[in-house]
Structure 1
Amino acid sequence: MTQRRRSEEVRLAVMLLTRLPAGRLANPAPSLAQARWAFPLIGLPVGALTWAAQAGGLAIGLDPLVAALAALAAAALVTGALHLDGLADFADGIGGGRDRGHCLEIMRDSRIGSYGVLALIFAVALAAGALASFGHAAPLPVFLFTATASRLAMLVLLDRLPPARSDGLGRRAAGAAPGGWVPGAAVTLGLAIWAGPGTGAALLAVAAVAILVARLALRRIGGQTGDVLGAAQVLTETAAILTLSACLPA
């Protein structure tokens, strides 16, 4: 695999998971399945921009909670709220579906229901409260670590769960390849070491939440979809932030 091909795969991952400018793909363009190894790496620019938003807000005198909400708003803006949309659809489908077919039908509906609204409210509120509890800008390594670890969890679910649909992102990006987790795992481990105390507990929290999402998705819809992956990213990142806020000194 040439370096040029790898860079094209990273570019495709940026295009899929963010709204950041990434130029144009060279022909022949890589497939989503080929580019999925780079999903955890997308946490680096997203985490850096989220940290900058919180640090900048505090620097101009915003209240810690307001600055935390500004950071989460920046994350939603840079990702196009892609994963938050997945969480809302997943919550609506799992919460309101009678059976597998009904769950998938609800998850495909663009309208948001009460389960989706509540899931978004609680996820954003918990993350914002945890970030505000630092009383200052959470360290840059914390943002980078939580953003990459949660996207690594998303990649693991993508590879370990069968697609629940015959179409969609979850189907197009599926197809495990040997060593596909290695780059993301290596970056996440390095960031965990950099971030310091509490990251071991945060990784356990990420793993626990990812397993819960996976078991729920398998039981209710028989596998993963793009919405399942988005929900896993948001929920594992929120769990990591909550754990670190409890472990790191304010």
Structure 2
Amino acid sequence: MAMVFLTRLPIKINATVNDELLNDASRHFALVGLFIGLGLALIYIVSHSLFPVSVAVILTLAAGVLLTGAFHEDGFADIWDGFGGGWSVEQKLSIMKDSRLGTYGALALCLLMLLKFQLLVLLGSVWYLPCVALILAHTLSRAMATSLIGLLPYVQLDNQSKVKPVVRGLSQSAKESLFVCALSVLLLTWVLGFLSFWYAIVMVICLWLIRKLCVVWFNKQLGGYTGDCLGAAQQIAEVSVYLVCLKAWL
């Protein structure tokens, strides 16, 4: 269920899909991020063996968009449209619900993808660094974004306005699973020598601060969160991981 929710992979579920199943699947979101990161790392390796670094990065980013259906990027663009163009909470939610892309969202999305491209190209000066960065970023960012659930109330325009499903509950076991998966990937990166102990601490502090800022930001803008907010938080955290990796390795 977690894989179906976060990707476009054609997986059949032999169970009744409901909110309870989706909430239970949330504990595996970081693990799905790990699988996505590993898949994109493999695509980067193959692409880099055939093309220059810049081309390999573009192909890897394109593969990521196809694999996830631009799920989180869509949320990132929506919140910039809503927060930038709306005055009241109702206006912001209405704009975020609109399938059309506005100026704020388009600019934010373009800058986001350009930043991802530039960071991965710079990391590509050492062939394996983008692979490690992709694995770290996709795992840790999904763990951080999912951990926001429950810190704020879920908000929507009206009872019929939910266009996309969203996880609304996060049990203690789900929080523990997210934490274990994220910490395991971070520790493995440290043990293998890709990340020093101090930069691993910096990574944790950075993601913790982003989590705190997202809570304050979403609460101020909406008085809660939506699925788009979680997608935006994941994208911000992903880029932040690339930034820390760049500082740590180059």
TM-score, normalised relative to structure 2? 0.87
**Structure 2 CA distance for partners of 1:117 and 1:48, relative to 1, 3 Å:** same
2:230 counterpart of 1:229: yes
Give the superposition deviation at 1:200.
Answer: 2.5
2:172 counterpart of 1:187: no
What is the rounded CA distance, in whole Å, between the counterparts of 2:116 and 2:217 in structure 1? 22
CA shift digits 1:40-66 (9 cap, x unpaired):
11102210121122222211132x222
What is the rounded CA distance, in whole Å, between the counterparts of 1:200 and 1:65 in structure 2? 30
Which residue of the partner structure matches residue 34 of structure 2? 44
Q: Is the 8 A contact 2:86 2:95 kept in 1?
A: yes
Q: Is the 8 A contact 2:80 2:104 kept in 1?
A: yes
What is the rounded CA distance, in whole Å, between the counterparts of 1:232 and 1:160 in structure 2? 13
2:5 counterpart of 1:16: yes
Q: How many residues align?
A: 237
Which residue of the partner structure matches residue 99 of structure 2? 110
**Letter of the aligned partner of 1:202 in structure 2?**
M
What is the rounded CA distance, in whole Å, between the counterparts of 1:159 and 1:71 in structure 2? 33
Correspondences of 1:1-250 after superposition (within 5 Å): 12-27=1-16, 31-62=21-52, 64-134=53-123, 135=125, 136-138=127-129, 140-165=131-156, 166=159, 168=162, 172-196=166-190, 197=195, 198-249=199-250
CA shift digits 1:193-225 (9 cap, x unpaired):
222223322222222223222211111111111
**Structure 2 CA distance for partners of 1:27 and 1:13, relative to 1, 3 Å:** same
**Letter of the aligned partner of 2:210 in structure 1?**
V
Runs of 4+ in 1 over 4 A off after TM superposition: 27-30, 169-172
SS in 2 for 1:200: helix
Give the superposition deviation at 1:79.
Answer: 0.3
What is the rounded CA distance, in whole Å, between the counterparts of 1:28 and 1:37 in structure 2? 16
What is the rounded CA distance, in whole Å, between the counterparts of 1:183 and 1:233 in structure 2? 17
Q: Is the 8 A contact 1:32 1:173 kept in 2?
A: yes
Give the superposition deviation at 1:69.
Answer: 2.0
Unaligned runs of at least 5 residues, structure 2: none
Q: Is the 8 A contact 1:141 1:194 kept in 2?
A: no
**Letter of the aligned partner of 2:6 in structure 1?**
L
CA RMSD of aligned residues (A): 2.0
**Letter of the aligned partner of 1:206 in structure 2?**
L
Give the superposition deviation at 1:137.
Answer: 3.6
Give the superposition deviation at 1:38.
Answer: 1.4
**Structure 2 CA distance for partners of 1:170 and 1:201, relative to 1, 3 Å:** farther
What is the rounded CA distance, in whole Å, between the counterparts of 1:14 and 1:191 in structure 2? 19
Which residue of the partner structure matches residue 5 of structure 1? none
**Letter of the aligned partner of 2:88 in structure 1?**
D
Q: Which has the higher contact order (CA 8 A, sep 6+)?
A: 2
**Structure 2 CA distance for partners of 1:223 and 1:170, relative to 1, 3 Å:** farther
